Structure 1
Amino acid sequence: MSTIRRIYETRRFELRGNTSYWDKVARARLSRRRLLQAGAGAGAGVTALSLIGCGGGGDDGGIEGDASGLLGKHEDRTKQAKAGGIWPDFMDEDVINLDPLLNNATPTFPQMTPVYSNLLKGGISSKERPGAETISGDAAESFEVSADAMQITLKLRANHKFDPRPPTNGRAMTSADVKWSWDKFAELGPSARDLANSRSEVSPITTVETPDDRTVVMKFAFPYSPIIELLSSHQHFYVMPRDDNFNFQGDMRGSGPYFLESFRPSQGITYNKNPDWYGNPEPYLDKIERTLISDYSSGLAQFKAKNLWAFTVRPDDILATKRDQPEMLMLAEREYATGVSYTNFSKRPDSIFVDERVRRAVAMMLDRELLTETFQGLELFRSAGLPTNYRLNSHIPAGYAEWVDPRGDGLGEGAKYFEHNPAEAKKLVEAAGLQTPVKETYGCWSDRAFDIVKEHEVTAAMINNGGIFDLEWRPLLYTTSWRQEDDSGGEAYTGLLASRLAGFSVDVYVTQKYTPEGRSKVSNGPVPGITDLVIKQRQETDSKKRNAILKELQQNAAMSWPDLPHPSGNFPGYSLRWPWLANHGMFITNNVSARVFTRYWYDESKRTS
């Protein structure tokens, strides 16, 4: 068993500060370091890494860069689509609240997008990540941003109907539904802090006016050109039917491509096709049945048994699963992640992490290349002849065009704190006047998203390796103790805390994280040298100037380390599905609101028993 593989298999007690374990890893990784150095630096260096052990793959009709022969081709088969079929799908986290305006759990928003409409929706491409120009109308059929970027006017679709069941009874959406939804969202919605100026002075929308039944006018506190990105976000504003009495937290009445058939708490959700949806003939599938499967092994077994048509297979199981089930379609993912989370440092005045030297020291204890190799299964893929292009996240995820590569020269002096350098980390701790080992805690939820929990456990163990830090692992409950601490802006603990954050635009990402009212704030107050830049870029309409501001933000964050980006590495990876779920994995979107699942269809001709 390889060293990389052993990190996965080692039990929890071995991961909690076991320095001898990490010493073995360090000794075994010397030869691997030579490979990693081939990928050091920006651009060409990353490409060089992808070619190690890989053939061209293009001369024999295969996939460029794939010497394994395992990869399928990305092919848009919408022109051959046929209506019908029931898709057996899964979800790995339970839904606590079905009301998208009040939902505060990022992983459950995708369970609401089939049913409810946004005003606008994201774009879809079969070749590359779509830009803002591909954003189009959802509940709105058209929209116009004023020349001064101080307001947006939207025209609702005519006869855009809600669910035919009571209390909506198939009535058409009007601007009154938009206004009712906005008022509720602005007052109570956890995500409203990104949009409503009444909730945060750095957010744009001041008023929503409805001059007639189909027209909505939103006015801004300052020029804000990225408004269409916010209004197409699946984590923000939805249009719900105006009703003060219906139980939206336990049931849904929407106007999207599917209607809710049933919601079974702790079991699953079933959706039925909306035959009157404006995108007709989409959606093609008659029904989606999503079963709650929080246990990975159970989900993988159901997938192999063809009871699930697609499943999120862990990187270290991809190749074995494909070889066991050669009929499965394996695709290379083509996007670097934008929804990168972080580990927060305590912001309490009595915390050792008030001293930026200690935060820098923690950052330098992380071997980001090894962490990426470990949790993305790169050694396995590379050995099989598959490309392994990966990036390191800065304080802006590598999936955004504004990202600055920590392995290049764009971050300036702060780039050195992304390097694994325990000797320098020790000097920083000693300069801060602390005795080693420095004792503190590393908190994390423990009752869901277990793969992410394991990553944080390994991160804590790596920080502890060498005796400079001694972080005690502190398990929390997601909906109670962890949520309370995560909402505290670093004030409810003195050590480190794993956090969660999912971004769809760089503006929303930095606003949520680095402003005091942000949904995933790192601090209750402005972050020196960063928050002011967040506000500045938010109000800048010139794209080149805005990019320069975001570069400066990353440079400042690399010096001050208000948080640790997590995970450290960013690798698109590979995915599997049964081939009769046509179009699955074939498209790239700029937001989940694009509802790419409406293009999936059941190809019975490819079905095997």
Structure 2
Amino acid sequence: MATASWKPIYASRPVTRRRFLAGSASLAGAAAILACGGEGGSNTRLETSVERKPGAILYTRDSYQWPDETSGAVDGGVYPGYVDTDNTAGFDPYLGASAMTISTDPYEFLLRPNYGPGIKPGTDAHNERIAHLAQSYEVSGDNATFTFKLRRGVKFHPVAPVNGREMTIEDWRESSKRFMEIHPNSPNWNEVVDKVEFPDAQTMVVKAKFPYFPFLIRMIDEDFTFTIMPKELHEDGKLAATTPIGTNYRMLDKYLPSATQEYKRFDGYWQGKPYIDRWNLPIIPEYANRYSQFMAKNIHSFIPKMTEALKVHQEAPEALMIANVQRDGIPRAIFGKWEAATAPWGDPRVRIAMHRSINWPGILDFMTGKDKFSAAGIEVDTVFTTHVPAEANYWLDPRKSELGQESENYLYNVAEAKKLVAAAGQPDGFELPLVAQTTSAGTDVWTLYLDEARKGGVVMLVPEMMQNRTAYLDRTTRTAEFKGMQWFSGGSTHGDVDYVLFRNYHSSGQASAYTNPKLDQLIDSSRRAVSWEKRLPILRDIQLEAARLWPVQLGEHGFSDWRFEWPWLHNANQQPYQYWLGQDMPRRNG
């Protein structure tokens, strides 16, 4: 098997060489000091913890063990955060904004996920959906009718023309109607839902076109369902685009493009008044600036490059070092529908060869600096990427040959990749348009992937860059109306694997280029399953068929990034309105 050649190529580039050497030096230096205990020190290594104390090394998978700190809560304070990208899509969440942005932040769903102290991930309690803006919900025995009751006493933000009035069923009605009419992700909902009825002033009834097992799971997913906006905003699109008015615990107080976003607490929040007074979020796109602001304690958190995490831990020894890995994700790139059948990559052998020619395990080791962390006594949590999330109750591991001979399709082997493209009539390789946002170019993964593709000699990538995010999503992720392959997305399955299975692997999916009748039948069966027990074997069969068809291209293996936080925030494993700031926080009042 050929050895990786991208390390010297990567290091030879002027800009990335500095990043590479700086990261390598910081890792090596940190590991050496940690292993030796510094000058004249002991041979102690770093230890992980489940207690959020200064300097602790934590994993979010253990956050359910963090205690409830409400009894010691102190009111007031200004949270010093940041955002790394400016708002370019306006304030209307129904016009295609992504999750966790200035346009979606004021609004809430009917249900919410269940998390907090004592609620362990993967348990039945954790998988439950909690009534939120809905007071309660019921499900019919055939998983085809879903009834939601309005929660009384929920008020909108005191902003004209809504002026803090109480939420009514008319807000639900107009939200569902406008979502189905204009939201870019409404096809996901409309494909499942037959009709939405409002039999009285307290009730909304959703009737599905067929029994749909994942419905409640996906009722927290912006790519499937709607948040609640006041009817006044639905009646005036210009108002919705300029004035966010929701029910959430904080409301926008100030927005300066390219400068800052500031929020103030909503004292009339239906779950209770938040503890924190204000949230100041300056827009800081530059990595070096974020780092310097964090070290000066002007912002609460910072996410460094993996290669610099140990160095940051040395330089900020009192900060919490928190690892988070996305286990429900499938980092993937969809293929475009244009010329999908006639292009060289229309042959599944070619799509498989593309994956096998990329040294993803080597890229993982390089990106994580895994050996250096191990030397320091720190585990780097990783996830092997396949066509379904690595959920323990149904995932099949190719490294253990759990998919039979199809397991090989996921494993790096350039020689076998070249045999596959030769058998498909492309012995000299082929050109492939790679559609991406301009923000992707120059990232470490971008550089490594393009270098690895050149080395493999299977595919010659021709980048086509797009600047506007909404236009990019409309062309690629939401419709697949292009030729070639898009750049890899972050890969979340938004709560349930059906998001990806139907959207990208089914012939009726919103953005699917490569499907077949067998995969359609399996996905349909998964959606109609009456229980998890009935669904699990179907999901395993879907993995086997996806390994043969290769409907999307797979990206990097998942790994935990490290987020550093000053130990000022309490109740960090609860709902955000329950967060509070410690009295020892510097400049607590701004």
Q: TM-score of the superposition, structure 1-length normalised?
A: 0.81
Match for residue 477 of structure 1 among 457, 467, 479: 467
Quick one: structure 1 residues 577 and 314, their matched pair in 2 at CA, closer, same or farther if it must change by over 3 Å?
same
SS in 2 for 1:143: strand
Contact 1:123 1:136 in 2 (8 A): yes
- Residue 279 (1) aligns with residue 251 (2): no
Cα distance in 2, alignment partners of residues 517 and 294 from structure 1: 38
Q: Deviations over 1:104-144 (max 9, x none)?
A: 243x4343454112111111134632656532122111111
Cα distance in 2, alignment partners of residues 301 and 529 from structure 1: 54
- Residue 552 (1) aligns with residue 545 (2): no
- Residue 229 (1) aligns with residue 217 (2): yes
- Residue 443 (1) aligns with residue 473 (2): no
Structure 1: segments with no counterpart, 5+ residues: 16-20, 22-53, 588-595
SS in 1 for 2:334: strand
| TM superposition shift of 1:273 | 1.0
- Residue 325 (1) aligns with residue 313 (2): no
Cα distance in 1, alignment partners of residues 286 and 570 from structure 2: 26
Cα distance in 2, alignment partners of residues 14 and 313 from structure 1: 15
Residue 23 of structure 2: aligned partner: none
Cα distance in 2, alignment partners of residues 154 and 226 from structure 1: 16
Quick one: structure 1 residues 145 and 117, their matched pair in 2 at CA, closer, same or farther if it must change by over 3 Å?
same
Residue 13 of structure 2: aligned partner: 11
Identical aligned residues as a percent? 26
Matches within 5 A, 1:25-174: 63=49, 71=57, 75-76=66-67, 77-99=69-91, 101-106=93-98, 108-112=99-103, 114-126=105-117, 128-129=120-121, 131=124, 133-174=127-168
Residue 458 of structure 2: aligned partner: 468
Residue 293 of structure 1: aligned partner: 284
SS in 1 for 2:584: helix
Residue 566 of structure 1: aligned partner: 555
Cα distance in 1, alignment partners of residues 480 and 364 from structure 2: 27
Quick one: structure 1 residues 101 and 443, their matched pair in 2 at CA, closer, same or farther if it must change by over 3 Å?
closer
Match for residue 240 of structure 1 among 207, 221, 229: 229
Cα distance in 1, alignment partners of residues 10 and 71 from structure 2: 43
Cα distance in 1, alignment partners of residues 287 and 15 from structure 2: 21
SS in 2 for 1:576: strand
Match for residue 502 of structure 1 among 474, 483, 492: 492
Q: Deviations over 1:556-608 (max 9, x none)?
A: 111221212222x1223432100112244x46xxxxxxxx3223211022549
Quick one: structure 1 residues 404 and 90, their matched pair in 2 at CA, closer, same or farther if it must change by over 3 Å?
farther
| TM superposition shift of 1:518 | 4.2
Quick one: structure 1 residues 533 and 84, their matched pair in 2 at CA, closer, same or farther if it must change by over 3 Å?
same
Quick one: structure 1 residues 437 and 231, their matched pair in 2 at CA, closer, same or farther if it must change by over 3 Å?
closer
Quick one: structure 1 residues 252 and 95, their matched pair in 2 at CA, closer, same or farther if it must change by over 3 Å?
same
Contact 2:153 2:270 in 1 (8 A): no
Q: Pairwise CA RMSD of aligned residues?
A: 3.2
- AA aligned to 1:217 is V
Contact 2:302 2:565 in 1 (8 A): yes
Cα distance in 1, alignment partners of residues 230 and 344 from structure 2: 50
Residue 255 of structure 1: aligned partner: 247
- AA aligned to 1:71 is I
Quick one: structure 1 residues 146 and 440, their matched pair in 2 at CA, closer, same or farther if it must change by over 3 Å?
closer
SS in 2 for 1:227: coil
Moved more, 460-469 or 481-490: 481-490
Cα distance in 2, alignment partners of residues 257 and 495 from structure 1: 40
Contact 2:185 2:478 in 1 (8 A): no
Cα distance in 2, alignment partners of residues 206 and 530 from structure 1: 24
Quick one: structure 1 residues 13 and 160, their matched pair in 2 at CA, closer, same or farther if it must change by over 3 Å?
closer
Cα distance in 2, alignment partners of residues 63 and 165 from structure 1: 44
- Residue 209 (1) aligns with residue 197 (2): yes
Quick one: structure 1 residues 402 and 506, their matched pair in 2 at CA, closer, same or farther if it must change by over 3 Å?
farther
SS in 1 for 2:399: coil
Residue 599 of structure 1: aligned partner: 578
Quick one: structure 1 residues 379 and 599, their matched pair in 2 at CA, closer, same or farther if it must change by over 3 Å?
farther
Cα distance in 1, alignment partners of residues 16 and 289 from structure 2: 25
Quick one: structure 1 residues 141 and 496, their matched pair in 2 at CA, closer, same or farther if it must change by over 3 Å?
closer
Matches within 5 A, 1:168-183: 168-183=162-177
Cα distance in 1, alignment partners of residues 563 and 298 from structure 2: 17
Cα distance in 2, alignment partners of residues 555 and 378 from structure 1: 30
| TM superposition shift of 1:260 | 1.8
- AA aligned to 1:600 is Y
Contact 2:331 2:491 in 1 (8 A): yes
Cα distance in 2, alignment partners of residues 339 and 104 from structure 1: 21
- AA aligned to 1:184 is R
Contact 1:393 1:405 in 2 (8 A): no
Provide runs of 4+ in structure 1 moved above 6 Å: 3-8, 12-15, 54-58
- Residue 357 (1) aligns with residue 349 (2): yes
| TM superposition shift of 1:232 | 2.2
- AA aligned to 2:403 is L
Cα distance in 1, alignment partners of residues 103 and 327 from structure 2: 22
Cα distance in 1, alignment partners of residues 291 and 498 from structure 2: 36
Cα distance in 1, alignment partners of residues 485 and 525 from structure 2: 31
| TM superposition shift of 1:177 | 0.6
Contact 1:404 1:410 in 2 (8 A): yes
SS in 2 for 1:530: helix
Q: Deviations over 1:277-329 (max 9, x none)?
A: 22225x32111122222222221221111111012222122111110111111
- Residue 582 (1) aligns with residue 570 (2): yes
Matches within 5 A, 1:302-313: 302-313=293-304
- Residue 188 (1) aligns with residue 182 (2): yes
| TM superposition shift of 1:254 | 0.6
Cα distance in 2, alignment partners of residues 484 and 134 from structure 1: 32
Cα distance in 1, alignment partners of residues 184 and 485 from structure 2: 25
Cα distance in 1, alignment partners of residues 229 and 176 from structure 2: 9
Cα distance in 1, alignment partners of residues 384 and 151 from structure 2: 43
Quick one: structure 1 residues 103 and 372, their matched pair in 2 at CA, closer, same or farther if it must change by over 3 Å?
farther
